[in-house]
Amino acid sequence: MTFITEKNKIYSIYTILYNEYGPQGWWPVDGKYFPENEKPFEIIVGAILTQNTSWQNADRALYNLRQKKLISPQKIICTKIDVLRTLIKPSGYYKQKAARLRAISLFFLKHLKEEVPKREDLLKVTGIGPETADSILLYAFHTPVFVVDAYTKRMFIRLDLVEKDDTYTDIQNIFLNSLPCDHSLFNEYHALIVKQGKEVCRKRPLCSICILRKKKVCSFNFFITGK
DNA sequence: ATCCAGGCGTTAT
DNA sequence: ATAACGCATGGA
């Protein structure tokens, strides 16, 4: 007889999703830190470009920047704002995001030599909110922080593990208190949540194909009543 | 045609 | 403190 507590439920869900979907191949969990390696800065740029935007669109913008060899704080600062805007246009909100890329570039030129930035400092940068800050810390610097996004909230409300009015921090703490503190676990879990949120636990959910419902972790059930 | 995407800052209640 | 709004492109 085994009890499913809310704590190990969080971990069980990870296991089920991982077994179902496999590794998601998000930003790599090895490699060197910025500025020794330029890859982490590309992750940072990607984190901004994908704000409320599909990765496909963000990646087009990233591709343009890569072609022009602009993936470095120095280059972004030096690039004329109109050029920058044009290059990142496919990611949407291109005026805001151009300004945000400049702001984060300035931040890393000023504050960072080798060490990992502080979350509170990242949050002071214009355009860096909690999710982007945590994405940067997790995916670029391998800091074990759990990234919460709209998918996470929607999905875990349905799983009855999160309340409707829980804040970003509330939700984050639920995960941090339930999981071993491991950056590669957090990396993979967040990516799996995004996968599940996109394909199954959508705004209009497809409960009939949900692996979590099949495994009896989720009792939420959605029926289309009309038509 | 409508809705949605790996949010954030500003402004109104 | 929390809610609503604008920002913008490309795919389903």
Q: Is the CB of A90 under 7 A from strand B?
A: no
CATH placement of domain A6-26+146-214: 1.10.1670.10
Domain ranges of chain A: 6-26+146-214, 39-140
Q: What secondary structure does DSSP assign to A34-66, as a single string?
A: TTTSSHHHHHHHHHHHTTTS-HHHHHHHHHHHH
CATH 3.40.470.10, domain A39-140, yes or no? no
Give me the CA A17–C1' C6 separation in Å, rounded. 36
Torsion sign across C-alpha atoms A103, A106, A108, A110: negative
Give me the CA A3–C1' C8 separation in Å, rounded. 48
pLDDT computed for residue A227 by the predictor:
31
Report which residue is nearest nucleotide C2 when distances run from CA to C1'. A165
Binned average pLDDT, 10 residues per bin, chain A of 227 residues: 72 97 77 61 96 95 95 96 98 98 96 84 97 96 95 95 94 96 96 94 92 92 59
Rg (Cα) of chain A, in Å, rounded? 19
